[in-house]
Amino acid sequence: MKIFDVHTHVYPDKIAERAVDALGKFYDFVPEGDGTYGNMTDNDRKCGVNGFLLLCVATNAHQIRRVNESVAAAMERGRADGFEAYAFGGIHPCGDMKAEIDFCIEKGLSGIKLHPDIQGVNIDDPRLFPLYEEAENRFPVYFHMGDDRPQYRFSSPDKLARIMKLFPRLTVAAAHFGGYKASDEALEYLTGGDRIFFDTSSALWAMTRERAELMISRLGVSRVMFGTDYPVMLPETELPRFMSLRLTEKEREDILYNNAAAFLKETVRV
C-alpha cells in the first residue's frame, strides 16, 4: 500500500531546533520530530512512506524569498533521494504576492500555503483576494484551519466557506480536518464542496476513533488525505492511529495515497 504524507514541514539544519521550539511554544505541545530533512526522511523510510508534500510559512514579508528557496531545495533533495516530493511556497499579504507567485512557479512549486494564525491575517481579508484570483483554475491554496483560542480565529471554517463562495473555481486543502480544535464548525460550514480537500494532520491525536470516522464520512472519503504535520508528529506515531480506523481497504488506500494524487493533479498550470 502506497503512502503519501500530504502535510510536512522541514527547516534548514542550523535553525531547525529554534523553529521547532517556537512551534511547540505557540501551540503548547512538544513536537515529536526535530524538524530536519534527515529526521523526517529517515522515519519515512522506516514506515514505508513513498512521498511527501512540503509546506512552508512566511511569518513576515522579508523572509518570503528565503523560505521559498529553502522549500524548493528540500523538494529537489527529496526527489534525488527517491521520494515523490512536492512543495508549496509561502506568501505574506504585506509582500509582493504576484512576484512571489511567479518565483514559486519558476521553482517548480505546486501551490501556496497560508498559516493565517501565525501570520496574523484573516483568510477572508481582501488583501488576499489577488492571491485567490491568481490561483483560481491555476494552482491550489493550502490553509492551516481552525483554532479554539479567541485570539487565533483567523482561519475559522466560516471564513473559508465565504472564500469558496467568492472564488468558486478555487481548489483548496483545509488542514486538520478543516478545523484544528474546531471540527464542529468544519462540519457545519465545509461539507459538500467538490473543490475542498482535507487532511488528517494534527487531528487524530485530539479526537476519538469514532469522531475521526465521523469526520471522514461527513467530509467525504474521496476528499480526505493522510498527513502527519511533521515535525508535530512522526509517521511511526500517526500511521498506527490512522490504521486503527474502521475503514475499508479501498478507503485506506485512497486516503493514504490516491486522494493526494488527485489533489496534486490540480497543481500549477502556467
**Model confidence pLDDT, tens digit, residues 222-237:** 999 999 999 999 999 9
- The structure's pTM equals 0.95
Confidence of residue 147 (pLDDT cuts 50, 70, 90): confident
Mean pLDDT for the stretch of residues 95-120: 91
Assign domain 4-264 one CATH number from 3.30.420.10, 3.40.720.10, 3.20.20.140, 3.40.630.30.
3.20.20.140
Burial class of residue 75, CB neighbours in 10 A (0-12, 13-18, 19+): buried
Per DSSP, the three-state class of 58 is coil
Return the pLDDT at 238.
97
Residue ranges per structural domain of the chain: 4-264
Centroid of chain to Cα 5? 10
Cα 135 to Cα 45, 78, 92, 114, 187, distances in angstroms: 33, 25, 15, 13, 25
Asked which of 11-15, 21-25, 227-231, 244-248 is least confident by mean pLDDT, the reply is 21-25
Q: Which residue has the higher pLDDT, 206 or 7?
A: 7
The answer, yes or no, to whether residue 268 has pLDDT greater than 60, is: no
In this prediction, residues 14-43 reach a mean pLDDT of: 94
Q: Cβ distance 35 to 16 under 8 Å?
A: yes
